[in-house]
Structure 1
Amino acid sequence: MEITVNHQNHQLKETCSVEQMLVILLSGDAKGIAVAINQTIITKSNWSNHLLKDGDQVMLIKATQGG
């Protein structure tokens, strides 16, 4: 299965949840991350339930401090 994350293609062996994808791609460090799939925000409470599909466009946004 192929998905696009922040404009880069990634191959996943099988269907997985947003939560599982974050563990694979970020080594489990998902603090301060917002996730949008196909331009729809996925709330953190739904990460374990939302299954990715082949061709999904994923945008990961990391909160930063500054001013």
Structure 2
Amino acid sequence: MKMTVNGRDVDLPENVTTVQDLLDHFQLNKELAIVELNQSILDKSTRDGAKLTNGDRVEIVQFVGGG
């Protein structure tokens, strides 16, 4: 599947079909991630099961500690 993630065109394996799969693929902590799918910020309660399709545009912001 081809999509744009954080402004970069990427080819993803066939097993990446949901936002949870995408976060796992990039080894991101889902508790710290905010996900925007096609210009809509996803609610954390439903985000993980959101289906991805070819051509989607995803932005992922992950909060980190520090100063």
1:18-37 equivalences in 2 (<5 Å): 18-25=19-26, 27-37=27-37
Q: Write the distance in 2 (CA, Å) between the matches of 1:36 and 1:28.
A: 15
| Structure 2 unmatched runs, 5+ | none
Q: Write the distance in 2 (CA, Å) between the matches of 1:31 and 1:48.
A: 11
Would you identify which runs of 4 or more consecutive aligned residues in structure 1 move more than 3 Å? Answer: 64-67
CA deviations 1:7-55 (Å, max 9, x no partner) are 1111112251100110001x24233210001110112221232110100
What SS class does the counterpart of residue 22 from structure 2 fall into? Answer: helix
**TM-score normalised by structure 1 residue count:** 0.79
Residue 4 (str. 1) matches residue 4 (str. 2): yes
How many positions carry a matched residue from both structures?
A: 66
